Amino acid sequence: MNWELLAAYVARAIALLIAIPFHESAHAWASYKLGDPTAKNAGRLSMNPLHHFDPLGALCMIVAGFGWAKPVPVSAVSRFRHPRRDMALSAAAGPASNLVLAFFCMILYKLVYYLTPETFLWDFTAAVLFQLVWTNITLAVFNLLPVPPLDGSRIVTVFLPQKAYFGLMRYERYIMLVLFAVLMLGFLDTPLRIVDNAVWSSLVSATRFVEWGLFR
């Protein structure tokens, strides 16, 4: 058995079990703070992966490399004071939380990588932290695509005229099918990888300020 390969898969699984609930619970927390307790009452303000994972979405994530979690329930019209604006803020909370988590995990990754002895336990810890950084970056970047039903579409549509907004939402299901096909064909692989790498480089630069503060 290839133990290194097995450890890599386990590290990625751990990263997904942390990053996805973090993303989804951030949506729930933002909605609750904006006046909508629907997600909180549904148990989505939780880091328990079982509260967030969709079986088919999780299977696609394992097999195809992308998937989805259960949508966070939101009563935008009846609960939010400014439905479109607050929906955009709630949507932005997910990717923003992933970027924040990626930043702190990168700091921990560097500390573990450079300051701990080379043992299997510490090497595995470093692998988990590496996967946490990369998984959170990819989740944030992917979900910021301005395509329904991704978070980016909720953010962008707040700037659209009301007629265009509802027209776009009417075709959300069909747009989602097109997005799925585009992903399956790999057309977005290169653009997404370029942006992921750019975000990684930005986080590396940002953590250098923390390193300077710790080790000067």
**Active-site annotation, residues:** 24
Backbone φ and ψ for 53, nearest 5 degrees, come out as -75, 135
CA 58 to chain centre: 14
Helix runs in 34-161, H state only? 38-41, 55-64, 76-79, 83-115, 120-143, 151-156
Cα 159 to Cα 88: distance, rounded to the nearest angstrom:
10
Maximum CA pair distance of the chain?
Answer: 60
For residue 8, what are its two tokens?
A: 């890599």
Q: Is 16 helix (H, G, I), strand (E, B) or coil?
A: helix
Strand-pair partners of 53? 69
Contact partners, residue 94, CB within 8 Å, separation at least 6: 23, 24, 26, 27, 140, 143, 151
Contact partners, residue 93, CB within 8 Å, separation at least 6: 26, 27, 29, 30
